[in-house]
Structure 1
């Protein structure tokens, strides 16, 4: 997933004090530490938070992108400035343009990094702790906004934030600058699937702990085993005995997610990690964390519902118990 070969990097800067661009006229020298920093930044774009899509060959934005990285970076920085200037709470931003290869294919990236003020120990004077300006954010932190384009396929990956822009919150980056309608991120799509499933289950009086657990384990299995998340397959597993519920689920999901959610080109390990355990809170104060593979095995865990509506949980075949 992190097979990046960085070729060129150019960094311009935007200052809110004079709302002006400070344009560089050259590439930066890539030291091993900088190479590592920007490769980590790029890896955050190929994540479950990325919106995805594909540019049309005649896209107005692509007309500003050519083989001259410096000229392209200046033109796009100026276009970005025209749109960003209307946003509120502006900070100093580095505008980073990267030409790189990933898995043998040429890519182009634009990263906006909001710089920070931080306390730093400077010298041994009476007041050695001082406020330092224009510090880059941590390498582990996703860019504030970012666009990566595969130069061969024109597929793109987008990280953006809704900013208060000209008086109202908007995705100015995709709507105004790029003029595209990206697919929802995997993270947001999974949330839509969960919320829609719970809504349908509630309509058909199925929304209890066992359904929510089944939904979690079903999503986990698809994320681990499949190359995509399919609303039809989820419907078949979640509402297998109710045709009306299945059709209603698929119809409602496709209003927001018209196509299957592809997983092959991004890192979705955070979503797998989030779903890998069932976390149960019982009315008597006991809390259980049960791995999905154990939860789904009737030879290891059994849930028994009694006539009075109460439950018993039978945990079987325990070889060792430790106190943590």
Structure 2
């Protein structure tokens, strides 16, 4: 991903007095800090991200300007007003970034929860390991919440966490701060598709290990071919001989996921990895891992249902076997 970090500002929220410690200057971006911020932004473009496009008159969008310092203070104060009701608060760094992605200007707002950790401070004989406060998480972790906005197209990617208030869980970030209704993430969409397919199969009494494997194969195939998932295409794959089941599947999926799932600017590798193998646990304790691209190849694997209701699995054309 081609990212160029231009400016960054860090403010801090303290749970002790629920106050903001506002910076008055930009962060000095060293190579290591640039790498850290870039990796955090890249994590927002994940399959957990909700997406959408800001309306031109959106109140949050109106706060974005070329003056990052002024923008960051305005948004940090608005964020504080919404977050302060949370029943579980920690010290948070609020990081605001101007960056270019493939030559297009973007804005990022990252909330990163700081933590206590043991640190080796030196070679003191008494106690070189001490508990230190306000430590940033590692390079590879996702921000607790993250928003990235394409300034030109107004498209956004959002990772958010609900807060607890009066026993209820609130999507305070999208609903109150941004005042948007984003699409659900690809990750949750795929889980919904799997759940819906299973329910339809149960209705028509076709839910067995072969059908569950077929669901995984269909999802993997569609992701490999187009980095997207269409309810109609999945229905044709899963219920090719049952028109009623196909129609019910499409209708139910569209109730919760109105639009096709597209991995637009989102890394689909984690989902592909999840479905690239079929994992089978047999009643005799044997476990099989079969690559999805050969699972349905009759020249490689054959599932045989015996007259007594048991199954036999025939693995064919093996050139070599290695013990691991």
Q: Determine if the TM-score, normalized by the shorter chain, exceeds 0.5.
A: yes
Task: Tell me the TM-score normalised to structure 2 length.
Answer: 0.98
Matched with 1:258 is 258
Matched with 1:247 is 247
CA distance in 1, matches of 2:263, 2:80: 33
Please tell me whether the aligned partners of residues 227 and 268 of structure 2 are also in contact (alpha carbons under 8 angstroms): no
Cα deviation, residue 125, structure 1: 4.2
Cα deviation, residue 307, structure 1: 2.2
Matched with 1:318 is 318
Please tell me whether the aligned partners of residues 86 and 166 of structure 1 are also in contact (alpha carbons under 8 angstroms): no
Matched with 2:42 is 43
CA distance in 2, matches of 1:108, 1:167: 33
CA distance in 1, matches of 2:316, 2:89: 58
Asked if 1:154 corresponds to 2:154, the answer is: yes
CA distance in 2, matches of 1:3, 1:186: 22
Cα deviation, residue 89, structure 1: 1.6
Matched with 1:277 is 277
Asked if 1:188 corresponds to 2:188, the answer is: yes
Please tell me whether the aligned partners of residues 165 and 172 of structure 1 are also in contact (alpha carbons under 8 angstroms): no
Please tell me whether the aligned partners of residues 121 and 130 of structure 2 are also in contact (alpha carbons under 8 angstroms): yes
Cα deviation, residue 167, structure 1: 3.8
CA distance in 2, matches of 1:196, 1:259: 16
Task: Tell me the TM-score normalised to structure 1 length.
Answer: 0.98
Please tell me whether the aligned partners of residues 305 and 311 of structure 2 are also in contact (alpha carbons under 8 angstroms): yes
CA distance in 1, matches of 2:39, 2:105: 18
Matched with 1:288 is 288
Matched with 1:302 is 302
Asked if 1:207 corresponds to 2:198, the answer is: no
Matched with 1:11 is 10
Cα deviation, residue 166, structure 1: 4.4
Which stretch of the first structure deviates more once superposed, 119-128 or 95-104?
Answer: 119-128
Cα deviation, residue 227, structure 1: 3.5
Unaligned runs of 5+ in 1: none
State the secondary structure of the residue aligned to 1:56.
coil
CA distance in 1, matches of 2:179, 2:300: 53
Cα deviation, residue 88, structure 1: 1.3
State the secondary structure of the residue aligned to 1:86.
coil
Cα deviation, residue 103, structure 1: 1.5
Matched with 1:74 is 73
State the secondary structure of the residue aligned to 1:278.
strand
Matched with 1:102 is 101
Please tell me whether the aligned partners of residues 163 and 171 of structure 1 are also in contact (alpha carbons under 8 angstroms): yes
* Count of aligned pairs: 323
Which stretch of the first structure deviates more once superposed, 157-166 or 11-20?
Answer: 157-166
CA distance in 1, matches of 2:24, 2:296: 60
RMSD: 0.9
Alignment of 1:108-127 (within 5 A): 108-123=107-122, 124-127=124-127
CA distance in 1, matches of 2:211, 2:314: 19
Matched with 1:84 is 83
CA distance in 1, matches of 2:251, 2:186: 19
